[in-house]
Copies of this chain bind each other. A is one copy, B any other.
Amino acid sequence: MIDLVIQHVDVLSDDTVIRDAYISVNGGHIAEISTEAPKEAAKETIDGKGMLAAPGLVNTHTHIAMGLLRNYADDLELMDWLEHAIWPAEAKLTDDIVYWGTQLGIAEMLRSGTTCFSDMYFFMEQTAKAVQETGIRAVLSRGLAGVAPTADKALIENKELFTTWNGYDDNRIKVMLGPHAPYTCPDDYIRRVIALSEDIGAEIHMHLSETKGEVENVIKQTGKTPIAHMNDLGLFDRGCVAAHCVHVTAEDMDIMREKNVRVAHNPQSNLKLASGIAPVPEMLAKGITVGLGTDGSASNNNADMLEEVRLAATLHKARLYDPKAIPAQTAWNMGTIEGARVLGYDDLGVLKSGQRADIVLYNTTGMHWMPRYNDVASLVYAANSSDADTVVVAGKVLMKHRELLTIDEERLRAEIAKIHNVFAN
């Protein structure tokens, strides 16, 4: 018996579309994609007529529970926003609040075609629990701020998170260490993070070169850019995901290429927080691996990865006055297979036999899908994230025809309404 068959579906595999095909899934992986029906019977069959199967979107950088602070405070100077809105609100966070905030974010991501996310936040045991229960794929990092009173405790928590969860369910959950940023982590603390990463074999996820101000301050303090400084400290020696990299120099990019620093590009958050536009075509030309992320929904203000794919495809064209700067296929790959590479998965992000079965079926009957000349261009330039009809992660169906199967949406709504009162008052 095959675990799952998706039948009569158009399948986007690399840059070609196989029409009216069958996807067979076994043991969490794609067993076969064929235009002929599998001979073996299936435990579960999904009809994909009128749909396009594509790899699930990979959100390489977020703080997913911050969906709770969506539209809470906007259009403010960064430090004003943090000091007078976000940090006071975050002081009210509890295990329970983060658990439901994570459920909210996972529900939103599944509903918009995202099957994997990389998170950096607090109360990460709760995030892991929500990931475990809902069935989504995640890479989790405990946010580590060396300047905070919780600096030591956070390191212990991140180590425990790694011990408990890294590798869970055939690597459906992985754990990294999450030093927050140069401006919250003094050099001594970074050295402790690096020592811990050597000790337990964990990779690192860090905000780097997000704003001009950050870069200027690090240069003032060390005489070096954040990338050069972190490289000298040894941060990149055991694998690192660097979020943002908006203000990186050509020399920084050479270091990133040499040390295989993988980049989480968050175009919408970078726009909304007025950080700038990252030099992504330049990074790609150097051979740096770049994926996409939404960042937290307090600075986005949603977890819609299709918006990031669209921005990645269009934003750099205008910055460089070059309509070929990032073609549709490149943007799509950043949202899927390249994002998977950023997170250390080498068998995820493309629909092919042997790959992990993280699959989204897009309903292609909407007006914005007509006519249908090029499905990659449709996804990148025209599709709506609500076209995601059915979502499979690690071979399990988590959303079927817009119904979430592992999340109780009514309960979730009620819990979020309660939490709303905590922050609104």
Chain A residues near B (Cβ < 8 Å)? 67-68, 70-72, 74-78, 81, 104, 107-108, 111-112, 212, 268, 270-277, 297, 300-304, 307, 310, 313-315, 317-318, 320-325, 327-328, 365-368, 370-374, 377-378, 381-382, 384-386, 409, 412-413, 416-417, 419-420, 423-424
Contacts and interface: CB of A to CB of B under 8 A. Distances in A.
Given A302-B382, A323-B77, A318 B368 contact: no
A368 B302 contact: yes
Nearest to A70: B382
25 contacts: A67-B370, A70-B371, A71-B374, A74-B327, A74-B374, A77-B323, A77-B324, A108-B367, A212-B321, A271-B318, A272-B314, A274-B317, A274-B323, A277-B318, A300-B381, A301-B377, A302-B368, A302-B382, A303-B368, A365-B413, A367-B412, A371-B416, A371-B419, A373-B424, A386-B386
B315 A271 contact: yes
Given A71-B378, A372-B420, A416-B370, A268 B384 contact: no
Given A71-B378, A274-B318, A372-B420, 15 more contacts: A71-B374, A72-B374, A107-B367, A271-B314, A271-B317, A272-B314, A272-B317, A273-B317, A301-B377, A302-B368, A302-B382, A304-B384, A367-B409, A370-B416, A371-B417
Contacts of A382: 70-71, 297, 300-302
Contacts of A318: 270-271, 274-277
Contacts of A304: 368, 384
Contacts of A70: 368, 370-371, 373, 378, 381-382
Contacts of A112: 368
A119 to B, nearest CB: 17
Contacts of A275: 318, 321
Nearest to A376: B71
Interface of A is mostly: helix
Nearest to A300: B381
Which of the listed residues A318, A320, A385 has the most CB atoms from chain B within 10 Å of its own CB? A318
Q: How many copies altogether?
A: 2
B321 A71 contact: no
Contacts of A272: 313-314, 317, 323, 381
A26 to B, nearest CB: 31
Contacts of A327: 74-75
A71 B367 CA distance: 13
Contacts of A365: 413
Which of the listed residues A304, A310, A412 has the most CB atoms from chain B within 10 Å of its own CB? A310
Contacts of A104: 367, 370
Nearest to A374: B71
The 10 A-B residue pairs whose C-beta atoms are closest, nearest first, are: A301-B381, A371-B420, A71-B377, A271-B314, A108-B367, A274-B317, A274-B323, A386-B386, A75-B327, A271-B318
Given A104-B370, A322-B274, A74 B381 contact: yes
Nearest to A324: B75
Contacts of A417: 371
A323 B384 contact: no
Contacts of A385: 384
Contacts of A75: 323-324, 327-328
Contact of A321 (B111, B274, B300, B314): B274
A413 B369 CA distance: 11
A269 B300 CA distance: 21
A320 B274 contact: yes
A83 B32 CA distance: 42
A372 to B, nearest CB: 7
A324 B107 contact: no
Nearest to A273: B323
A258 B370 CA distance: 42
A302 B381 contact: yes
